[in-house]
Structures are given as structure tokens and as C-alpha cells.
Amino acid sequence: MKKSLSIILILLCSVVFTSEVKAMDPHFSQYNATPLNTNPAMTGVFSGNYRVSGIYRSQWSSVLRDESVPMFRTFSAAVDFRLNSGLDDHDAFGVGLVFLSDKAGESEFGTNYAGLSFSYIKNLSQRGNNFITAGFQAGAAQRSINFDNLRWGNQFDGEGFNPGLSSGETNISDNYMFYDLSGGIFWYYVQERRTNYYAGFSMYHINQPVQSFYDASEVRLYSRLSFHTGMQFQIADQVDMLPSLMMMVQGPAFETMIGTYFKFLFETHIPDGNAFYIGPFYRMVNGTEGVINSESLVLAARVDYGQFNFGFSYDLNFSRLTAATNSRGGFEASLVYIGAFPESRAKTIYCPRF
């Protein structure tokens, strides 16, 4: 009980027990399965005409569920289109819509976001296998909280907690809205069918919108800077390796994730044939004194079947919360579908299957 209560207090204090809220962005271990949340320039970067994607993450259930406290849940869904009608041969436009919902703990601290993404995909070679894209995203978000589920110092009556007493907080609202702007660039090169390289940089919250439940506050959301890169190459007749790296900085917070998939192909004669992926990823974050600490080991698996991608991952926690979580962190499940219109433009434009 004491262990569980401690972790709950740590999590809640990091979110709301300050006079002004500075929320951190939710993150996904399977960041390539949610491209519009990773880099707006990845809008339309796929082999097909349209892509539908969804991802769900639950976290801290091993601690919070025992106390009848809702665990941390994050869900995102997106749809984007590749319009093969660019200014030059093999160029294309990308357009997409993304939605994200995040709810955290007993306070029900929530974020709902919807954004529109646009990109231009520029061909750099005569073969049509080297591209650079630029994209931006504009959206609106709402943050909310249930103050009735929180306990305040003014509600201590000398003997214990008294929910009938006022919190003493004034000029405070239980929700607010803000507008958000983001942008990015992305490069990818397809050397051959089973060999490709990519790298991207993105900046979310370019406008640094005001973040506070209190009136007349000028606290602003830190911009989130991300760099991500990866490649695919053949290591055996039916096995490829896909190492990748993601680095993120948001204000004083830093996170990096590095690892690899091993891809086992069932159909080597088809460019995007059925395949099974499995691999480890390692996440590190900065500590309170700026020291880089181990945060979690992510075990991930994925299946490509036809036009569907199914992904699953589980985080094994290494941080100071291990005593409370028993190393159990977050579970994720993702689904991506890439489709083509019956009478789409006849042109072979191959993109990596991230």
C-alpha cells in the first residue's frame, strides 16, 4: 500500500501539484507506427494512395489498478493521403488528419488534440529513389482535469482529510484550449528493394502555446525537437536488419531510444510481402542532475500481412519506479493499413515500410 501510494503521488505531483502546469508530450515506443505524431514531413510517405493508422498505449497499470485509480492511457488515430500530382515527375503532395487523446491517473488529467498535416515530397534523382520532404501541421488541443479527485493542503482539518473543505484555489479553471503549430523535414533513399536509409528532424509546438489552468498565466509549452534515423539492409537470404534511433528534447527533458528489428521475410520475391519482425529497443532519459539514466527495455514485434501492419510492444521499466512497478511499464498495440485507389496514377514509387 505504501509503495503504491508513493508512486501515485510522484506521478500526480509531476503533472498537477504546481501553481502552473508544464505538461510533457506523451510518447510512443512504436513511434514509426504513428508517423504524424513523429514528424509532419512523413505525411504521405508510403507506397500507396492512403494510410490509416491507430495506436494505443497503457502505462502504470501494475501500480494504479490495485488502488482503483485509472492508469495512464494514450490513443492516437490518423489518416493521410499521397497525391501523386507533384510539380515534377515522381513528386507528390501529402495531406493528413491526426487525433490524439491522453488521460492520466486519478486526476483524469487529459489532453485531446486534432491536427491537419501537409507535406511536399520532392524527388532528387532520375531513378525516383531519393526524396526529401517538408511538412507542417496545424491543430487545436484541449487540456482538462478533475479537481474533485485531488486533495489539497487546505482540506486538512487537523485530524485528517476533509473533502467538505474548500481547496482554497482561486481563479482556476478545469480546462483550457490552445492552438499548435509544428513542422519537419524528412529524407529517404531506396538503394534497392531491401536496402534503404532515412533521417528526419521535427519541431512540435513551434508557437509555444500558453499552458495553465490559472487565469492570467504566461507559462508556455516547451517546443519538442526530435531527430530520428534508421536503415534496412539484408543479413541473410530471408532476414533483414532495421536499426533505428530516436532522440527528443523538450525543455529540460531529454529522451533517446535505440534498437533494431530483425525482419523475417516469408515472400522474398514481393517488395512488400508478408513478414514478421522482432527486436529489442533501449530507452534512456536524463535524470534530476542531468545524468543520462536507463529508463526501459522495449520488446517489440510486428507482422506485415498483405496491406496490414500489426505491432505490439512492452516496456520493461529500469527507472527508480522499478520497486513499485516490478519492472512492468507500458503496453502498446498498433495497426496500420495502406491502400490504393482502383484507378490510381500508374507509377512505381517505392517507400520504406517503417
The identity of residue 132, as a single letter, is I
Q: How many separate domains does the chain show?
A: 1
In a domain, 348, yes or no: no
In a domain, 353, yes or no: no
Any idea how long the chain is?
A: 354
Average the pLDDT over 14-41 and give the result.
74
Percentage helix, strand, coil for the chain under 3-state DSSP, each rounded to 5: 10, 50, 35
pLDDT above 90: residue 293: no
Average the pLDDT over 98-126 and give the result.
91
Q: Which residue has the higher pLDDT, 68 or 108?
A: 108
Average the pLDDT over 52-75 and give the result.
74
DSSP letter for 62, please.
H
pLDDT given at position 24: 57
In a domain, 72, yes or no: yes
Q: Which of 15-19, 118-122, 173-177 has the lowest mean pLDDT?
A: 15-19
Confidence of residue 305 (pLDDT cuts 50, 70, 90): very high
In a domain, 230, yes or no: yes
**If we measure between CA atoms, which residue out of 66, 73, 60 comes closest to residue 10?**
60
Q: Which residue has the higher pLDDT, 22 or 79?
A: 79
167 lies in which domain range? 2-339
Phi, psi of 110 (to 5 degrees): -125, 155
CATH number, domain containing residue 169: 2.40.160.60
pLDDT given at position 55: 98
What are the tens digits of pLDDT across the range 149-207? 776 666 676 677 766 666 666 667 778 899 999 999 999 999 998 999 999 999 999 99
pLDDT given at position 63: 56
Average the pLDDT over 297-305 and give the result.
97
In a domain, 137, yes or no: yes
What are the tens digits of pLDDT across the range 311-344? 999 999 886 655 555 556 789 999 999 998 886 6
In a domain, 347, yes or no: no
Average the pLDDT over 44-71 and give the result.
78
Q: Which residue has the higher pLDDT, 197 or 293?
A: 197
Q: Give the integer Cα–Cα distance in Å for 167 and 171.
A: 12
In a domain, 352, yes or no: no
Cβ burial, residue 230 (10 Å; 0-12/13-18/19+): buried
What are the tens digits of pLDDT across the range 229-288? 999 999 999 999 999 999 999 999 999 999 999 999 998 777 678 999 999 999 999 876
**If we measure between CA atoms, which residue out of 190, 191, 187, 213 comes closest to residue 201?**
187
pLDDT above 60: residue 31: yes
Which pTM was predicted? 0.85
In a domain, 344, yes or no: no
Would you list the DSSP string of 160-194?
SB-TTS-----SB-SEEEEEEEEEEEEEEEEEETT
pLDDT given at position 255: 94
What are the tens digits of pLDDT across the range 40-51? 999 999 999 999
pLDDT above 80: residue 307: yes
Q: Give the integer Cα–Cα distance in Å for 188 and 198.
A: 4
Would you list the DSSP string of 204-231?
E-TT--B--SBTT---BPPPEEEEEEEE
Average the pLDDT over 132-144 and give the result.
96
